[in-house]
Amino acid sequence: MTQCSIRLFQMDAVVGDFSGNLQKLARAAEKAQADGIVILIAPELAVTGYPPEDLLLRPALIEKLEVAETKLCEISEGLTLCVGLPTVASEMLRDCDRGSLSNKPASLHNSLVVYQCGQRLTAYHKNSLPNYQVFDERRYFVAGTEPMVCEIGGIRIGFLVCEDVWVAEIVEATCALGVDCIIVLNASPFAEHKISERYWHLRDRATNNRIPIAYVNLVGGQDELIFDGGSFAVNRQGEIIAQANFFVEEMLDIIWDGEDLTESRIAAFPSKDWMLYEALVTGIRDYFAKTGFKKAVLGLSGGIDSALTLVCAVDALGAENVNAVMMPYLYTADISVADARRQAEILGCEFSMVSIEPMVREFMETLGPFFEGHPIDATEENIQSRCRGVLLMALSNKTGALVLTTGNKSEMAVGYATLYGDMAGGFAVLKDVWKTRVYDLARFINRGSETIPERVISRPPSAELAPEQEDSDNLPPYDRLDQILSLYIESDQSPQAIIDSGFDSKEVKQICRLVDINEYKRRQSAVGPRVTARGFGRDRRYPIASRWSF
């Protein structure tokens, strides 16, 4: 009975950092050899990071890939290394032989390459190239057409890359080659509910084909995408036999015992609130680490959005690297100032307070002649917000701290935000978090201790830009608003379909209209972590100038 040890390397790969990613692979391979591991598996596009986007169109990429392949051969001395990277398509190689490469981009495969004992053994090219939501792979890659089996250590392994395992025909074609197990290399980004979808899907693939499957995933933040890791393996019965932790780079070992994949290590399955919170913290931590920023500054208003943003920032960067700035005006309640100061003290971060009253007064005096004869409206409120934005951006310029914006997805959806005001900044932490989930996370954070002052959670939400102002003056209650927005934005339901499901006709049409007319704001907003099935970013691209009507 042939036994074989397999290690899944749940890796945090930095896009474009060939040298750093290869060094990680080399260290992992060295440790694997020392531990007696036969096969080391790294995730999809681990060499380039995912997604490399238009870096794949750069002519210089080919030379970097050639250097990387040489290094990967060296790394594989003493074991078998299976790793994801782009490879040049065979038709492109023929063009190169004819001397017609010129400066045109290469035709590339999204490949899984097997290296063994210092040599390149074989390669599998991803068959199913996703082109939906955040994925745009057909822009960059040529699809493979054939399944592949590779015998390693006496095991006939079928290899797949990410989307391939979601296509029943591709899995069945691979199994038809007579494989003992399937290993899938993934770069699967986090979204709420995605974890359970993966489990159920692989369980079905395993049981339908009577084949064990191992799933290795990327981990870490890359711009707006968050990779949660959570690599795992299921046996022939679809039972989870090994499970890695989430949001950490680590190794997961499994054993082929001659008949099935076996192991006993299964990490605890976390709550949905923990998963969402860790996704946000990972997004901040890795965005800063991978862009070179060390410190953050944010406006702390005494409201729940900025309170949650501050907790995430302190958790990600350390209290010593976060500056919370309270910027009161005439309409700022005393309890807002008190709660903001108290939270900063609880967390141990720097707290500054700068009144914007003199600045707003100067603006109003300067603009007075132009405003004469016009009623007071949102213009005056926006001036307050923009004064705060100017202050934060000036602090950013002077100190090198990145401004974190604090608006949530509900507000961004309906345009309840000010361009060049509270939208001014470098990273929008809650950009894809519904307001109802903001409250959920605040309560989750406060379990067992009061990290966020309880009054911040229990008070009616307000922008405090006008006397006695509350969000409910302009918007429906957030539990109802978020349901309507989710149906319209994430499920693409028409306003009439939403109305037919039981919502008020006037309210639905007003909300959907606000979503449509505020596309120009969202197009100018800072990047932020995508955590829902459809965020405002890569996977939602609507025209600004449009006469579309619902």
Catalytic positions: 44, 126, 162
Question: Per the structure block, which two tokens stand in for 202?
Answer: 């692989």
Tell the residue number behind the tokens 């981009």, with chain if given.
Answer: 105
- Whole-number Cα distances in Å, 62 to 42, 88, 90, 371, 417: 21, 8, 13, 59, 44
Cα dihedral 235, 237, 238, 241 sign: negative
Nearest to 476 by CA among 413, 525, 522: 413
Beta pairing, strands 350-353 & 322-326: parallel
CA angle, residues 57, 63, 69, in degrees to nearest 5: 110
Nearest to 402 by CA among 265, 235, 290, 534: 290
Alpha-carbon gap, residue 324 to 345, rounded angstroms? 10
CA angle, residues 377, 380, 384, in degrees to nearest 5: 145
* Long-range contacts, stretch 534-539, CB < 8 angstroms, 24+ apart: 534/133, 534/489, 534/490, 535/224, 535/409, 535/431, 535/432, 536/409, 536/412, 536/413, 536/431, 536/432, 537/134, 537/224, 537/431, 537/432, 538/133, 538/134, 538/136, 538/224, 538/225, 539/132, 539/133, 539/134
Residue 546 CA to its chain's centroid (Å): 29
CB atoms within 10 A of CB 411: 25
